[in-house]
Amino acid sequence: MYYVIKKIADSPLASFMGFKVPKYITSKNSDTVIFEFTKDGKVIRKWIKKGEIILLTDNLELFLKTMNQFKSIEAVQQKLVDDAQKQLDQCIENFSETMNQQIEEFTREDMQCILKSL
């Protein structure tokens, strides 16, 4: 059995998925790896670019250790992004509140007076 860690490319943050595969096919001249799975007695092949493969090994312990490291880093990075989003949301809210308070300080008469002087 072989174990694979693949980078998921459709995400702005680096994320990874791991899976096991009984057989793979590749060559030096190819930029893809073909993974063969058996589902319901039928062979299914999936092509993955070599550049997306982080780890391909038959060592389960190495696979689990590496996958746990990636997931841990991924969780830390996601927390940083979530915290930054909360901070951004708070800044936008504060800005909006400040602007509303400033606008409320002017009365209609003040605005008419300002417009008349222009």
CATH number of the domain encompassing residue 42? 2.30.30
Using DSSP, how many helices (H) and how many strands (E) does the chain show? 2, 6
| pLDDT one digit per residue (tens) for the chain, 118 residues | 899 988 887 666 678 889 999 999 998 899 999 999 888 989 999 999 998 999 999 999 999 999 999 889 888 988 998 999 999 999 999 999 988 887 777 666 666 666 665 5
CA distance 113 to 42: 82
Q: Which residues pair with 5 in a beta bridge?
A: 18, 55
Q: Within a domain: residue 93?
A: no
Neighbours of 3 (CB within 10 A): 20
Q: Can you read off the two tokens belonging to residue 104?
A: 């409320």
pTM over 0.85? The answer is: no
Residue 108 domain-assigned (yes or no): no
Task: Domain count for the chain, please give it.
Answer: 1
Q: Which residues pair with 7 in a beta bridge?
A: 16
Q: What pLDDT, on a 0 to 100 scale, did the predictor assign at position 102?
A: 78
Residue range(s) defining the domain that contains residue 58: 2-76
Q: Is residue 113 part of a domain?
A: no
- Residue 30: inside a domain, yes or no? yes
In a domain, 114, yes or no: no
